[in-house]
Amino acid sequence: MENTTHFGFKDVATQDKQGMVRSVFDSVANKYDLMNDVLSFGAHRLWKHYTIATSNVKAGDKVLDIAGGTGDLARAFAMKVGDTGQVVLSDINAAMLGEGRKNLINRGVPGVAFVQLSGEQIPFSDNTFDCVSIAFGLRNVTDKDQCIGEMYRVLKPGGCLLILEFSKTDIALLEKFYDFYSFNVMPQLGKIIANDEESYQYLAESIRKHPDQETLKQMVLDAGFGTCEYHNLSGGIVALHKGIKV
Amino acid sequence: MQSMILQSALNHLLEAHQIDIRPLDGKTVYFSLQDLPIAVNFICTNDRIFVTTDATINADVDIKLKSNVFLKLIQGEDLTELLRQDKIMIHGDVKTAQLLVDLLQQVEFDFEEALSKFTGDIVAHQVGKIAKKFKSSDNSLASIKDKITNFLITPKRFH
């Protein structure tokens, strides 16, 4: 069983995971933003706002947003870097990237480049970006260490890595509610709104399989980052890890 | 949250005053206020300052002082003099500490402007007005106490 990985609670062949994740996002792309608002009661906007506020990105910076999907972060980064900077919105999934491009064009956000790429093999030179972000994407990546290593490589010295991802809450009561909500309510909402129960079952399972805060922090440090700290948001349901390439 | 607010405010001020932080590039300064729950690392890199609470970082210099001494420092008081008076403790590279102090002294703190980034202009202005009222009074608490006493004794005067 050397060449297996998890896809939610299932063990699957490593080479199959990427395709299975692609099917999930092909299926949910056009309802992705709506589902985020419904499932998180709008809290994802606050989590992303906090991420941007923490980024320390300024005018003239180069920013790469990996698994950027529908472009929420890229839009906010574009405002920060201004005309002299550059934002690259990337996603491995063409349907999601298409939604992102549509959103940014509709909102009149100029100057964002769109690149379809895998976080495990980032097609940019070493030391290119001031900031690299990945929001709610890392848990879907097959080889997370490889992805963090690639993000480290393309960051400039002094660059900032931001990983916003579901994590583990240590509040017992919240955990009980969250478990019930994730496995009973979320898939049903997925069925009603996006006509896709399975993808939202996968979402709940993939969150439980994702490394907890301390484990992910150690992974970031192991990749070479000089420092990493995390901030728990909404009681640890989500955590923002921030690494600096010192 | 405190590190995020501090980081945003500090970098905003550095940018607004066009202060060159290159002399501090690559340096990490551990900074703690002994009478307040504030202990942070300032990581100076890539032309900006990151503020982190990560306790595992090896800082180039540790600075420990009380909040009133910090205020004196940013108002221009001499670092060497404060060191001589044992009002500030520095372990490590004193030159880096001096560079950070020089940098902070260049920043003209505009409390209202910094606060407005988070609260909006109106709230920041109101808070600023209240703060100025307190500042302008020699003994604000005594003054408030007097006013309350007067009100309780002769409430009609306040109508």
Question: Can you spell out the DSSP letters for A163-202?
Answer: EEEE-----HHHHHHHHHIIIIIHHHHHHHHSS-HHHHHH
Task: Indicate whether B151 pLDDT > 80.
Answer: no
Amino acid B77: pLDDT? 86
B150 — pLDDT class (breaks 50, 70, 90): low
Shortest distance, CA A233 to any CA of chain B (angstroms): 10
Say yes or no for a CB contact (<8 Å) between A156 and B46: yes
**Interval B37-64 mean pLDDT:** 90
Please answer whether residues A62 and A53 qualify as being in contact, where contact means their C-beta atoms are separated by less than 8 angstroms. no
Q: Name the pairing type of β-strands A238-244 and A155-166.
A: antiparallel
CA angle at B10 for the pair A213 and A84, rounded to the nearest 5°? 90
Question: Which stretch of DSSP H or E encloses residue A105?
Answer: helix A94-106
> How many angstroms separate the CA atoms of A220 and A222, rounded?
5
Q: Where are the beta strands (DSSP E) in A62-202?
A: 62-66, 86-91, 112-116, 129-135, 155-166
Which parts of chain A have pLDDT scores under 50?
Answer: 1
Backbone phi, psi, residue B52, to 5°: -135, 155
pLDDT value at position B147?
A: 62
CA–CA separation, A225 vs A245, rounded Å?
5
The pLDDT mean for chain B works out to: 79
What the block records as the tokens of A22 is 């692609």
Q: Chain A within 8 Å of B16 (Cβ-Cβ)?
A: no
Question: Distance (Å) from the C-alpha of residue A124 to the closest C-alpha of chain B?
Answer: 19
Q: At a CB cut-off of 8 Å and minimum separation 6, what does B51 contact?
A: B3, B4, B6, B7, B10, B40, B41, B42, B43
* pLDDT reported for residue A71: 94
Q: Do A219 and A153 form a contact (C-beta atoms < 8 A)?
A: no
Q: Alpha-carbon distance A160 to A152, whole Å? A: 9
**Among the ranges given (A30-34, A149-153, B102-106, B121-125), the one the predictor scored with the smallest mean pLDDT:** B121-125
Spans of all domains in chain B: 2-106, 121-158
Pairwise CB contact (< 8 Å): B54 & A228 = yes
pLDDT higher than threshold 60 for residue B159: no
User: Does CATH place domain B2-106 in 3.90.960.10?
Assistant: no
Whether residue B1 lies within 8 A of chain A, CB to CB, comes out as yes
Report the percent of chain B where pLDDT is more than 70: 70
B8 to chain A: which residues are within 8 Å by CB?
Answer: 53, 56
Q: Specify the pLDDT at position B108.
A: 63
CB–CB contact A227 B43 (8 Å): yes
**Do the chains contact at A58 and B15, CB–CB below 8 Å?**
yes
Residue B106 has pLDDT above 70, yes or no: yes
pLDDT at B92 over 70: yes
Residues of B in contact with A231 (CB under 8 A): 1, 4
pLDDT value, residue A202: 84
- Cβ contacts of B4 on chain A, cutoff 8 Å: 50, 53-54, 231
Name residue, tokens 């970082």: B57
Q: What is the pLDDT of residue A76?
A: 96
Q: Write out residues 139-178 of A within 8 Å (CB-CB) of B.
A: 156-160
Mean pLDDT of the region B23-43 = 90
CATH number, domain containing residue A132 = 3.40.50.150
Helices (H), chain B: 2-16, 67-74, 79-84, 94-106, 111-119, 121-136, 140-153
- With an 8 Å Cβ cutoff, are B43 and A246 in contact? yes
Report the C-alpha gap between A205 and A200 in whole angstroms. Answer: 9
Chain B: give the shortest CA distance to residue A96, in Å: 30
In angstroms, rounded to a whole number, what is the distance separating the alpha carbons of residues A88 and A112?
6
How far apart CA B110 and CA B116 sit, in angstroms, is 10
Closest residue on chain A to B47 (Cα): A158
**Residue A3 and residue A16: Cα distance in Å, rounded?**
10
For residues B3-23, one letter each, b for 16 or more C-beta atoms within 10 angstroms of the residue's C-beta and e for the rest, the string is bbebbbbbbebbeeeeeebee
Residue type, B37: P
The answer on pLDDT for B140 being more than 60 is no
Name chain B contacts of A246, Cβ cutoff 8 Å: 26, 28, 43, 45
**Chain A contact set for B43 (CB, 8 A):** 227, 244, 246
Length of chain A: 246
Per-residue pLDDT, B21: 87
Give yes or no for residue B65 having a pLDDT over 70. Answer: yes
Band of residue B145 on the pLDDT scale cut at 50, 70, 90 = low
pLDDT at A13: 82
B135–chain A nearest CA distance, Å: 31
Provide the residue range defining the domain that includes A141.
4-244
With cut-offs at 50, 70 and 90, classify the pLDDT of residue B78.
Answer: confident
- pLDDT of B142: 58
Measured CA distances, B122 to A53, A211, B65, B114 (Å): 21, 43, 33, 13
CA gap A65, A8 in Å, rounded: 24
Chain A residue numbers touching B53 (CB-CB < 8 A): 229
**Is B2 an 8 Å CB contact of chain A?**
no
In this predicted complex, what is the ipTM? 0.81
Between A67 and B15, residue with greater pLDDT? A67
Where does the pLDDT of residue B14 fall: very low under 50, low under 70, confident under 90, or very high at 90 and above? confident
Does any CB of chain A come closer than 8 Å to the CB of residue B52? yes
Closest Cα partner for A92 from A54, A143, A48? A143
Interface contact B11-A246, CB threshold 8 A? no
Distance between CA A25 and CA A98 in Å, rounded? 12
Total domains in chain A come to 1
B158 DSSP 8-state letter:
G
Predicted pLDDT at B109: 60
Q: A73, A47 in Cβ contact below 8 A?
A: no
Residues in chain B closer than 8 A to A130 (CB atoms)? 46
End-to-end CA distance of chain B: 43
4-33 in chain A: CB under 8 A from chain B: none
* Helix/strand/coil for A67: coil
Contact of B43 with chain A, judged by CB distance below 8 Å, is answered with yes
* pLDDT given at position A220: 97
